[in-house]
Amino acid sequence: MKSQSRSAIALLSIGLPLLLALACGPPPATLAENYQDKPGGLQFDHSDLAAVLSRFVDVDGWVDYAGLAADTTSLDRYIEALATAPFEELGRDEKLALLINGYNAFTLRLILDHYPLDSIKDIPSDQRWDGRTWNFAGHQWTLSDIEHKQIRPKFKEPRVHFAINCASIGCPPLADEPFLASRIDEQLDEQMRYTHSHDRWLRFDAESNTVWLTKLYDWYGGDFEQVSGTALAFAADHAPALKQAIDSGKTPQVKWLDYSWKLNDQKNRESD
């Protein structure tokens, strides 16, 4: 009996950390396309968000939070409009643009509500991704709801992980313009080109045949696999040198880049 108890304790000691590790990561999702395009259909006005992004976000995604905190009129007006957005009436691309833009606008507001701070992780967990709810088209959704329940299982689009922004340096940069249905495929590709040509998110050394990838490819590996077979293959589709190596028969060793949770504040740009 004592031997069985010791065995059970040993299993728990191994299993509990694994369960905790799994619980800390994003939930798995089966990617699918749930919506139809509606060419010429209803459009949502993102001009207030455009005003915010063009004024307070630079071309590399760094945010002037101090400046934005001093003038939140356009951001608050956009967030107010999101509450009554006609989501169900929109076509597929309009829905995706609205979800991405809404997530990013709410994240900006979240940071401002706690600013100044060093990291989004300084915000108590019950007020961050899973705790605080936002009024989106009449629904009370958390940021996690938007990402894991409204985007990932309803759009077969892993590029979204390089479009939604977690207000951190390690996160792909916040675009300096809103996503628009008419250009969303082009804009998502722009995000992929930018991140996959910067060492913060991808670095490939042909001599050692080693590629360092952003942890997004680790955390959301299942999403990328559903589209390209492997996360590495998905990354290679947006990194020409890496793809050339793989196509020539080389399989690079994959390592993970450090992920910085420091705030993507313009004042942190030179110190990073």
Compute the distance between CA of residue 190 and CA of residue 196 in angstroms, rounded to an integer: 10
Residue 63, in any domain of the structure: yes
Report CA torsion sign: 178, 127, 146, 134: negative
Compute the distance between CA of residue 215 and CA of residue 201 in angstroms, rounded to an integer: 8
Single pTM value for the model: 0.91
Same domain assignment for residues 179 and 53:
yes
Residue 18, in any domain of the structure: no
Same domain assignment for residues 93 and 158:
yes
Is-contact 230 224, C-beta < 8 A?
yes
Same domain assignment for residues 128 and 109:
yes
Same domain assignment for residues 67 and 129:
yes
* Segment 124-138, tens digit of pLDDT: 999 999 999 999 999
State which of 195, 212, 241 marks the end of a domain.
195
For the cut 90, the answer to whether the pLDDT of residue 77 exceeds it is yes
Same domain assignment for residues 102 and 180:
yes
Same domain assignment for residues 115 and 210:
no
Same domain assignment for residues 77 and 158:
yes
More confident residue, 108 or 11: 108
Compute the distance between CA of residue 262 and CA of residue 125 in angstroms, rounded to an integer: 16
Same domain assignment for residues 127 and 83:
yes
Residue 16, in any domain of the structure: no
Which amino acid, 48?
Answer: D
- Rounded average pLDDT over 78-106: 98
Residue 140, in any domain of the structure: yes
Compute the distance between CA of residue 62 and CA of residue 231 in angstroms, rounded to an integer: 27
Residue 35, in any domain of the structure: no
Same domain assignment for residues 164 and 72:
yes
| Count of domains for the chain | 2
Residue 12, in any domain of the structure: no
Same domain assignment for residues 128 and 191:
yes
Residue 135, in any domain of the structure: yes
Same domain assignment for residues 57 and 188:
yes
Residue 96, in any domain of the structure: yes
Task: State the pLDDT confidence band at 272, using cuts at 50, 70 and 90.
Answer: low
State which of 195, 230, 248 marks the end of a domain.
195
Instruction: State how far the alpha carbon of 22 is from the alpha carbons of 146, 161, 258, in Å.
Output: 20, 19, 19
For the cut 60, the answer to whether the pLDDT of residue 14 exceeds it is no
Among 246, 240, 220, residue whose Cα is nearest residue 159: 220
Its domain, for residue 214, covers: 202-256
* Segment 40-51, tens digit of pLDDT: 899 999 999 999
Please state, rounded to an integer, the average pLDDT across all residues of the chain.
Answer: 92
3-state class (DSSP) for residue 213: strand
* Segment 205-239, tens digit of pLDDT: 999 999 999 999 999 999 999 999 999 999 999 99
Task: State the pLDDT confidence band at 104, using cuts at 50, 70 and 90.
Answer: very high
Compute the distance between CA of residue 117 and CA of residue 115 in angstroms, rounded to an integer: 5
Same domain assignment for residues 55 and 103:
yes
